[in-house]
């Protein structure tokens, strides 16, 4: 099933150009659809033909990640492709903030059947629809591949099997039409999409990214420079929502999180006294595994049978399930509130200028990721932000859950400052080794926020996006 989400009205957003990376790799600058301005355009201009003759560079080489900067008054059109988890998504976005198309094919039926994402099934489902989703995104935008300036694609974090489908498609399309590629970090895309819809969100800002696999608090200092204040030491909040929904026998097809949000409105949030996780830890890290266990035990003690769908349960049973949903949600979100409050304090200590922005009532706190589409979550975090004198900003719900717009927009942000790869070879082999980053931290860990429990789990991780960008900038300066 391919669901088309209608275009949203967007504000024009053209952040100031960053021209501090001028002396970089000069052998490639993309220039389709791009009208150079003499004053801020530096490089040799290559025709698409000569572009295609350039050799493919190694994407994991940080030097090659940073390329020649482009002008700001550009007219870029970027296709974004997202397949990191269970949604196959594509969108075409213009650099003035117009969303030309947005297409999402969700694997809701598979999710409902298996009660979670089964990687092999998810890969197959992506493979079946990827061509159709991308074509539909182009058709709805009334464009062809040759009208594009570049292709942006999520390369991590996520499930390798799933990432591979999107990356292969993006490389094939870019290779056969001589288009540059922008490799996108999924969580950065969640954090940046708000800059497309809310023009007042400038760096620095704080972001809470809450999804099925991630729970991250970051201080976004500038594009590509993120300080991780906290993360989860086990499960993310979305996982806890999904499991609670499954154990309560809810319909998972529109997402477990949404099902819990709706059911919780009918329940008594004070009826079950779950313990708020990590109260004794004075840091900004999260943990949802213990809360999941508490919920499972409560469900067992109430003899709730997940095999009986809630719609077929007795009235008494239905209200008992609603009480669990409401009590779970209250505590899951209280945990977010407590950690966010501390993170704001840390961020304000580190960045006194945030106080200045604060007095201008700028937006300093952004919440994104699937769970951020929850109205209860938004209302509670809005209170926390207000208490600290900040304003909470969230993307619209359709841009909180996984989508191609956030990938295209992040592609635009990086492309503008010259961070992109040249077109892949047109004849790249299907089984070429791809640069996929299933475990890829977004930012460097803030020392005060380090968790001992978590540091045990950092093996096999890719260096963070921030450290890669810093390394390339240092090379440039030496």
CB within 8 Å of 474: residues ≥ 6 apart? none
Beta carbon nearer to Zn ion, 402 or 445: 402
Closest among 51, 49, 98 to 77, alpha carbons compared: 98
Stretch that binds Zn ion, among 53-61, 97-105, 128-136, 402-410 (CB under 5 A): 402-410
Q: DSSP letters of 267-292?
A: S-TTSS-PPPTTTT--SS-B--HHHH
Distances (CA, A) of 128 to 158, 164, 268, 274: 19, 13, 43, 42
Total residues contacting ligand KG4 (rule CB under 6 A)? 19
For 51, the enclosing helix (H) or strand (E) is helix 48-52
What is the C-alpha separation between 445 and 449, in angstroms, rounded? 7
Size of residue set near Zn ion by CB under 5 A: 2
Is position 267 an interface residue for ligand KG4 (rule: CB under 6 A)?
A: no
Name the binder of 242 from Zn ion, ligand KG4, none, CB < 5-8 A by kind. ligand KG4
Whether 407 and 189 have beta carbons less than 8 Å apart is answered as yes
Region from 15-23, 139-147, 155-163, 398-406 binding Zn ion, contact rule CB under 5 A? 398-406
Query: How many C-beta atoms lie closer than 10 Å to residue 311's C-beta?
Result: 9
Q: Which of residues 169-228 bind Zn ion (CB under 5 A)?
A: 211
Q: How large is the angle between the packed helices 256-264 and 315-350, nearest 10 degrees?
A: 110
Which entry of Zn ion, ligand KG4, none binds 401, CB below 5 to 8 A by partner kind? ligand KG4
Q: Which is nearer to ligand KG4, 173 or 377 (CB)?
A: 377
In degrees to the nearest 10, what's the CA dihedral of 383, 388, 389, 394? -50
Q: Please tell me the distance from the alpha carbon of residue 222 to that of residue 417, in angstroms, as a whole number.
A: 12
29 vs 374, beta carbon nearer ligand KG4 = 374
Closest distance of CB 157 from ligand KG4, Å: 9
Tell the smallest beta-carbon distance from residue 476 to ligand KG4 (Å): 33
Nearer to ligand KG4 by Cβ, of 156 and 175: the residue is 156
Binding site partner of 204, from ligand KG4, Zn ion, none, Cβ cut-off 5-8 A by kind: none
| CB-nearer residue toward Zn ion: 62 or 411 | 411
Binding mask 388-417 for ligand KG4 (x = CB under 6 A): -------------xx---------------
Under a CB-based contact definition with an 8 Å cutoff, are residues 153 and 134 in contact? no
Query: Is residue 256 part of the contact set for ligand KG4 (CB under 6 A)?
Result: yes
Task: Decide: is 338 part of the binding site for ligand KG4 (CB under 6 A).
Answer: no
Decide which of ligand KG4, Zn ion, none touches 67; Cβ closer than 5 to 8 Å per partner kind. Answer: none
Site for ligand KG4 in 105-144 (CB under 6 A): none
SS (H, E, C) 176-243: HCCCCEEEEEHHHHHHHCHHHHCCCCCCCEEEEEECCCCEEEEEEEECCEEEEEECECCCCHHHHHHH
Q: Is the peptide bond before 204 cis (omega within 30 degrees of 0)?
A: yes
From 164-172, 176-184, 400-408, 422-430, give the range in contact with Zn ion by CB under 5 A.
400-408
**In degrees rounded to 5, what are phi and psi of residue 187?**
-75, -30
The one segment of 38-46, 130-138, 251-259, 452-460 that binds ligand KG4 by CB under 6 A: 251-259
Q: Does 67 bind Zn ion (CB under 5 A)?
A: no
CB of 403 to Zn ion, least distance (A): 9
Contact track, Zn ion, 255-274, x by CB under 5 A? --------------------
**With contact defined as beta carbons under 8 Å apart, do 252 and 446 qualify?**
no
Q: Is 402 in the site for Zn ion (CB under 5 A)?
A: yes
CA distances for 317 relative to 267, 308, 314, angstroms: 12, 10, 5
Residue 57 CB, nearest approach to ligand KG4 (Å) = 29
When the beta carbons of 70 and 104 are compared against Zn ion, the nearer one is: 104
- Beta bridge pairs of residue 102: 91
Site for ligand KG4, rule CB under 6 A: 85, 211-213, 238, 241-242, 255-258, 261, 369-371, 373-374, 401-402
């Amino acid at each position: 099933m391919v669901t088309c989400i209608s275009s949203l009205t967007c504000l024009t957003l053209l952040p100031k150009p960053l021209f501090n990376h001028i002396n970089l790799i000069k052998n490639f600058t993309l220039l389709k659809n791009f009208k150079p301005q003499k004053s801020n355009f530096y490089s040799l201009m290559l025709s698409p033909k000569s572009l295609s003759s350039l050799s493919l560079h190694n994407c994991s080489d940080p030097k090659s990640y940073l390329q020649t900067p482009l002008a700001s008054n550009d007219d870029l059109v970027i296709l974004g492709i997202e397949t990191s988890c269970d949604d196959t998504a594509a969108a075409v976005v213009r650099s003035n903030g117009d969303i030309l198309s947005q297409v999402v094919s969700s694997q809701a039926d598979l999710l409902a059947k298996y009660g979670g994402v089964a990687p092999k099934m998810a890969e197959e489902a992506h493979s079946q629809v990827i061509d159709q989703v991308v074509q539909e995104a182009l058709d709805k935008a009334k464009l062809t591949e040759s009208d594009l300036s570049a292709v942006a694609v999520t390369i991590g974090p996520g499930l390798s099997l799933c990432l591979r489908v999107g990356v292969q498609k993006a490389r094939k399309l870019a290779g056969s039409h001589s288009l540059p590629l922008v490799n996108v970090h999924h969580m950065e895309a969640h954090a940046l999409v708000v800059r497309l819809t809310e023009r007042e969100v400038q760096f620095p800002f704080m972001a809470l990214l809450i999804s099925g696999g991630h729970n991250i608090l970051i201080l976004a200092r500038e594009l590509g420079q993120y300080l991780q204040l906290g993360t989860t030491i086990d499960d993310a909040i979305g996982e806890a929502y999904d499991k609670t929904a499954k154990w309560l026998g809810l319909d998972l097809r529109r997402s477990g999180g949404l099902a819990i949000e709706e059911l919780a409105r009918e329940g008594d949030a004070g009826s079950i006294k779950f313990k708020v996780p990590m109260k004794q830890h004075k840091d900004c890290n999260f943990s949802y595994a213990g809360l999941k266990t508490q919920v499972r035990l409560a469900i067992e003690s109430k003899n709730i049978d997940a095999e009986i769908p809630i719609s077929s349960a007795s009235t008494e049973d239905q209200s008992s399930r609603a009480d669990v949903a409401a009590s779970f949600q209250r505590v899951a979100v209280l945990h977010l509130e407590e950690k966010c409050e501390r993170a704001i304090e840390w961020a304000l200590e580190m960045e006194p200028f945030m106080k200045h922005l604060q007095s201008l009532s700028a937006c300093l706190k952004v919440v994104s990721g699937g769970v951020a589409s929850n109205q209860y979550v938004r209302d509670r975090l809005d209170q926390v932000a207000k208490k600290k004198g900040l304003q909470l900003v969230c993307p619209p719900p359709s841009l909180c859950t996984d989508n191609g717009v956030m990938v295209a927009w992040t592609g635009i942000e990086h492309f503008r400052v010259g961070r992109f790869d040249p077109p892949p070879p047109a004849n790249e082999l299907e089984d070429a080794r791809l640069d996929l980053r299933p475990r890829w931290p977004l930012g460097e860990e803030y020392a005060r926020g380090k968790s001992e429990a978590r540091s045990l789990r950092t093996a096999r991780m890719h260096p963070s996006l921030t450290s890669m960008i810093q390394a390339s900038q240092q090379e440039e300066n030496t």
